[in-house]
Amino acid sequence: MKSLVFIVLLVVAAIAGYSIINKPTEEVAVVESVVEEAVSDTAEPVQAMDEVASTESEEVNLITPVDMSEKAQEEMYGNITEYNKCMMQNRLEYHQQGMRPESVADKTLTACEPHLDALKLVLETNNVNKDLSEGMVKTMRQRMARKLMSTIMQSLARQGAAENSVPLTPATP
């Protein structure tokens, strides 16, 4: 019974210690700056107006692909699908003897790049956040390049296994 009480007390102490350590820091107070307009005819009103205009122009574009029209989303998904099909086509070059994986990958990436360009154009046309659209295109390119290299290497491994296999001959008594 004492050991059970000790374990419960230990767990409570651990939880209390965890909550103290991970306690959120003090909230930062938001300070709003007020631009006072000058009454005189000097250059001060112009400077005040410039400051207001510059703070308003620094707004961040928060448009995502979800915010695009349905037609634009269909076009975006169509470009993604076409790119995936292009990259994962089972090309004859993968299975040829003596092929260079780098050249096959380069040919495939070059052939499929227009689909990514079309996707990027659709995103830019619909005013999607620039960082988001560039990140989306970059992620797709990297992911499909890894899959492509995996497919090519698997084909090379199969070719190597086929070359190194020894045919079984039936034993003659």
Please report the pLDDT score of residue 73 as a whole number.
Answer: 92
Q: Considering the domain boundaries, does residue 136 fall inside one? A: yes
> What's the Cα-to-Cα distance from 32 to each of 13, 29, 39, 61, 143, rounded to whole Å?
42, 10, 22, 22, 44
Q: Considering the domain boundaries, does residue 25 fall inside one? A: no
Residue 24 pLDDT > 80: no
How are the residues of the chain apportioned to helix, strand and coil, as percentages rounded to the nearest 5? 70, 0, 30
Greater confidence (68 vs 168) lies with: 68
- Name the DSSP class of 150: H
Q: Considering the domain boundaries, does residue 173 fall inside one? A: no
Residue 11's pLDDT band (cuts 50, 70, 90): confident
Please report the pLDDT score of residue 70 as a whole number.
Answer: 92
Please report the pLDDT score of residue 51 as a whole number.
Answer: 52
Number of domains comprising the chain: 1
Least reliable range by pLDDT among 85-89, 136-140, 143-147, 168-172: 168-172
* Cα 119 to Cα 121: distance, rounded to the nearest angstrom: 5
Q: Considering the domain boundaries, does residue 128 fall inside one? A: yes
Q: Is 94 exposed, middle or buried (0-12, 13-18, 19+ CB in 10 A)?
A: buried
Q: Considering the domain boundaries, does residue 60 fall inside one? A: no
| Residue 145 CB neighbours (<10 A) | 15
pTM: 0.56
- Is 152 within 8 Å of 94 (Cβ atoms)? yes
* Cα 84 to Cα 107: distance, rounded to the nearest angstrom: 15
Please report the pLDDT score of residue 8 as a whole number.
Answer: 75
Query: For 97-133, what is each residue's pLDDT tens digit?
Result: 677 778 888 888 888 999 999 999 999 999 888 888 9
Q: Considering the domain boundaries, does residue 6 fall inside one? A: no
Greater confidence (25 vs 138) lies with: 138
Q: Is 63 exposed, middle or buried (0-12, 13-18, 19+ CB in 10 A)?
A: middle
Query: For 39-91, what is each residue's pLDDT tens digit?
Result: 444 445 545 455 544 444 456 777 888 888 999 999 999 999 999 888 887 66
* Cα 7 to Cα 3: distance, rounded to the nearest angstrom: 6
Domain of residue 107, residue span = 69-87+98-162
Q: Considering the domain boundaries, does residue 15 fall inside one? A: no
Q: Considering the domain boundaries, does residue 167 fall inside one? A: no
Average pLDDT of the residues in 146-172 = 77
| Residue 108 CB neighbours (<10 A) | 23
* Cα 49 to Cα 58: distance, rounded to the nearest angstrom: 15
